Amino acid sequence: MLGQFFSPKSVAVVGAAREPGKVGYGVLQNIIDSGFKGRIYPINPKADAVLGLQCYSSIKAVRGKVDLAVLAIPRAAVLSTVAECGRKGVQGIIVLTAGFREVGPEGAALEKEVLSVARQYGIRLLGPNSLGLIDTHTPVNASFAAGMPVRGEISFMSQSGALCTAILDWALKEDLGFAKFISLGNKADVDEINLLDAWAEDPHTRVIISYLEGIGEGRKFMQAARAVTKKKPVVMVKSGVTAAGSRAVSSHTGSLAGSESAYNAAFKQSGVIRARSVEDLFNLSVAFSFQPLPRDSRLAIVTNAGGPGIIATDEAERQGLRLATFARSTIDKLRASLTSTANVYNPIDVIGDARSDRYRVAVDAALADPGVDALVVILTPQAMTEIEATANLVVELSRQYGKTVLASFMGGVRVEPGVRILREGSVPNYEFPEEAVASLGAMYEQRRWIEKPVEQPMSFPVRKEQARRLLVSAAADKRQTLGDVEARGVLTAYGFKVPTAMLARSAEQAIGFAKQIGYPVVLKVVSPEILHKSDVGGVVVGLQNDEEVGDAYETILARVRRFMPKAVVWGVEVQEMVTSGKETIIGLVKDPQFGHMLMFGLGGIYVEVLKDVSFRITPLTLSDAREMISQIRSYPLLAGVRGEKPVDIDAIVDALLRLSQLAEDFPQISELDINPLRVRERGQGAVAVDCRLAFAPDGLVEQVGASGRSPLQEQVAAS
């Protein structure tokens, strides 16, 4: 895929320049220097030859086929050149030229036009405002970057061209190999999703790393990422602070669900490893491209110094790795061969005066132990230390055993020759032991992701049509929110338990319903015009007997008459008062990038003050639902502490999955809060006590019920 970019047979450089320092010179020079084996066509109407190659006055003047055109021309000429490329049958264009969307609305309009012409001809377009791309295996360097990395198995995409140049320069210094190196520019056409798809199948790419500032189509990204992350690790830096309050919010979920939460959830659900920094990105890329993944989390450490061993142990704990417990035979072997003051338990301390022979014994014994999945070898340059010999044996044994081996040869000048041997032997070396252990932590995370079974979202039998009718009727009323009764109707249609409720039209009827339901009850005014019932005194809770119900009925009507004299009142609802069960909140919001996202948390202050919530993009799998419950800090309150019985966690899982299904069925829903969802003891289920739902009426067909009553009235009557 995208073969026109990565393995073209012929490349034209439109705007090929004769003056060193110009972009059109640099890119041509790079293509030539990269050893590109196909045809190269410099295009420049004012020159006969550039850099020793025959020059053409235009794309159409080229006689042969042109697979890829690189545009290094003024902005004004881009549109017509793309059209010309189209007519010539070019399949891919890289627009190096800047001055498009990144400079404002006028540039954005031009970018759109350029894209539209490209699409018309079926041309794929990289950029504009791209630095170009490099493929070390083809090889081709169609960029104006200085230098080309050595061949390797890491592929890098970046939304920042400048970061490409910096990282390229850094790779040259560190001698780190890359397979593909691509500057995405403005992503008018070719984007991160296309590249994930392409690199999933690329045999030269073993690790994908990327720097992104934003993701265009969240859902497609997740789909593409899921397909590749099970095969090869994808590590990303996602930068960009969310402007606070950039989104209108009207619910708890909305106010907590920032774009960061969405990215974190999306990355987690699609197996993308999020690097905290550019440095991390590189530490991890080296680990993944050099070494096999550990089978499990049991780490052995070999060191010639106690301190760094402790530092590594501390980091292992932070990373959730376990220090391996050695087999009896391993300990005996170590004790027999190491000096008496050595520590033969994990971390193995071969002591400061160790030469390479002691390292060999320790590394060999650790790797041979069946209870060890990975090894970190630490070396400090002491008087007796044989740095090169040790590096050689680490490389040799890492190959022999095939287990994950990382090194931290600490220091600078003296350790340098050892570090080189390690690098050439594909053992990643880190200046500090924390980095080695942290990289191993990410490798173990990838191992767990790979072994996690692929799940399909769960699907329940629901009454979708019932929910749709309620939304349609509200849309017909020109509303974008559902009332209590309606929202409850939607939830029951999707299998939620809600409090029993009946609509009374007189005090007597209210008392009768209250008796049926059983005390205590709640009374609430029902009116399509009153959204905030409590504000007008339209809700009375905790009613214990007939008299209180009768009084409350009249009080509510009197208050409503006073505060909202013109409101149409359909009646007063008598509702079961649910007081048992633990309060939780389930919310649904719509993220601009990723669409529907579910939130879970414990009710009240846990959400509002402690912000102890978790997020997942819909649709949810069973394990998504389970994980989002167990990852909140206050989870022990659900699982049971201080002698309390555990709540019905399966009922929460069920509620999350049903809400996920509702979200998938109705993209129109913009926000939904079930607050509280009261969760009873295990086996006793959960009740959605209160629910708010907002939606955009897009695509909902307006219709009126056959009875002639408004659908809301029908629903009320049916409830």
158 is a site residue for its own copies (CB under 8 A) = yes
Print the binding letters for residues 80-99 with its own copies: x by CB under 8 A, - otherwise: -------------------x
Q: Which residue from 19, 48, 52, 173 is in contact with its own copies, where contact means CB under 8 A?
A: 173
List the one residue from 79, 249, 310, 557 that touches its own copies (CB under 8 A): 310
Binding track, positions 122-151, relative to its own copies; x by CB under 8 A: ----------------------x-xx----
Residue 305 sits in the site that holds its own copies (CB under 8 A): yes
Provide the minimum distance between the beta carbon of 536 and its own copies in the complex, in angstroms, as a whole number.
Answer: 18
Q: Is 633 in the site for its own copies (CB under 8 A)?
A: yes
Place of tokens 């989104």: 247
Q: Of the listed pieces 52-60, 75-83, 163-171, 470-478, which binds its own copies according to CB under 8 A?
A: 163-171
Q: Does 304 interact with its own copies (rule: CB under 8 A)? A: yes
- Residue 21 binds its own copies (CB under 8 A): yes
Of 105 and 412, which CB lies nearer to its own copies in the complex structure? 412
- Using CB under 8 A, which residues numbered 100 to 119 contact its own copies? 102-103
CA distance 16 to 54: 11
Instruction: For residue 91, give the amino acid letter.
Output: Q
Beta bridge partners, 299, equal 323, 374
* Residue 419 vs residues 283, 289, 509, 608: alpha-carbon distances, Å: 15, 17, 85, 51
Shortest Cβ 493–its own copies spacing (Å): 32
Residues 539, 544, 546: CA angle, nearest 5 degrees: 90
Q: Which of 82, 237, 397, 517 binds its own copies (CB under 8 A)?
A: 237
Q: Does 230 bind its own copies (CB under 8 A)?
A: no
- Classify residue 632 by its DSSP letter: S
Please report, as a single letter, which amino acid is at residue 626. R
Site for its own copies in 393-422 (CB under 8 A): 410-416
Q: In 192-207, which positions are buried (b, 16+ CB within 10 angstroms) versus exposed (e)? A: bbbbbbbbbebebbbb
CB of 440 to its own copies, least distance (A): 15
Which residues, 6 or more positions from 107, have their beta carbon under 8 angstroms from its beta carbon? 75, 99, 100, 101
Q: Does 308 bind its own copies (CB under 8 A)?
A: yes
DSSP-derived 3-state class of residue 18? coil
Asked if residue 213 binds its own copies (CB under 8 A), the reply is yes
Tell whether omega for the bond before 619 is within 30 degrees of 0, i.e. cis: yes
Minimum distance from residue 50 beta carbon to its own copies (Å)? 17
Q: Which is nearer to its own copies, 311 or 687 (CB)?
A: 311
Among 1, 47, 53, 172, which residue sits at the site for its own copies (rule: CB under 8 A)?
172
Binding range to its own copies, per CB under 8 A, among 31-39, 276-284, 501-509, 547-555: 276-284
Q: Which amino acid is at 204?
A: H
Query: Least separation, in Å, of the C-beta of 60 and its own copies?
Result: 29
- 239 belongs to the binding site for its own copies (CB under 8 A): yes
Question: Of the two residues 131 and 374, which places its CB atom closer to its own copies in the complex?
Answer: 131
What minimum distance in Å lies between the beta carbon of 347 and its own copies? 12
Which position among 228, 311, 523, 689 is part of the footprint of its own copies (CB under 8 A)?
A: 311
Using the minimum distance from each CB to its own copies, give the nearer residue, 583 or 664: 583
Helix (H, G, I), strand (E, B) or coil at 604: coil
* Coil, strand or helix at 191: coil
Chain mean position to CA 432: 28
Closer CB to its own copies, 532 or 566, in the complex = 532
Binder of its own copies out of 63, 241, 461, 566 (CB under 8 A): 241
Q: How far is the CB of 546 from its own copies (least distance, A)?
A: 28
**Minimum Å distance from CB 508 to its own copies?**
37
> Least separation, in Å, of the C-beta of 128 and its own copies?
14
278 binds its own copies (CB under 8 A): yes
Question: What b-and-e string marks burial along 102-120, b requiring 16 or more CB atoms within 10 Å of the CB?
Answer: eeeeebeebbeebbebbee
Residues 52 and 110: beta-carbon distance below 8 Å = no
List the x/- string, 424-453, binding to its own copies by CB under 8 A: -------xxxxx------------------
Of 609 and 701, which CB lies nearer to its own copies in the complex structure? 609
**Nearer Cβ to its own copies (281/543):** 281
Question: At closest approach, how far in Å is the CB of 325 from its own copies?
Answer: 15
CA dihedral sign of residues 632, 634, 640, 645: negative
Nearer to its own copies (CB atom), residue 132 or residue 233: 132
- For β-strands 481-482 and 691-695, DSSP reports them as antiparallel
Distance between start and end Cα atoms, the chain: 56
Cβ-contact 674, 609 below 8 angstroms? no
Tell which one of 243, 248, 383, 706 touches its own copies (CB under 8 A): 383
Can you give the three-state secondary structure of 226-261, one letter per residue? HHHHCCCCEEEEECCCCCCCCCCCCCHHHHHCCHHH
Asked if residue 203 has a cis previous peptide bond (ω within 30° of 0), the answer is no
Task: Tell me the sheet residues that pair with 409.
Answer: 379
Tokens, residue 707: 């009875």
Pairing of strands 669-679, 10-14: unpaired
Residues 638-677 that bind its own copies (CB under 8 A): 641-642
Only one of the segments 61-69, 389-397, 633-641, 684-692 lies at the binding site for its own copies (rule: CB under 8 A); that segment is 633-641
Residues 352-371 that bind its own copies (CB under 8 A): 352
Tell me the number of residues near its own copies by CB under 8 A: 74
- Of residues 312-341, which lie at the interface with its own copies (CB under 8 A)? 313-314, 317, 341
- Shortest Å distance, C-beta 417 to its own copies: 12
Q: What angle do CA 94, 223, 177 make, to 5 degrees?
A: 50
Least distance in angstroms from the C-beta of 413 to its own copies? 5
Closest by CA position to 596, among listed 501, 503, 660, 532: 660
Q: Cβ of residue 156: shortest distance to its own copies, in angstroms?
A: 13
* Position among 243, 248, 454, 609 found at the interface with its own copies (CB under 8 A): 609
Which residues, other chains included, contact 550 with Cβ-Cβ below 8 Å and sequence gap of 6+?
Answer: 507, 508, 510, 511
DSSP 297-339: SEEEEEES-HHHHHHHHHHHHHHT-EEPPPPHHHHHHHHHHS-
DSSP per-residue codes, 338-370? S-TTSB-SSSEE--TT--HHHHHHHHHHHHH-T
Choices 49-57, 249-257, 304-312, 543-551 (CB under 8 A): range interacting with its own copies: 304-312
The rounded distance, in Å, linking the Cα atoms of 717 and 709 is: 10
- Looking at 380, 429, 621, 668, which residue binds its own copies (CB under 8 A)? 380
Q: Which of 306, 417, 542, 592 binds its own copies (CB under 8 A)?
A: 306
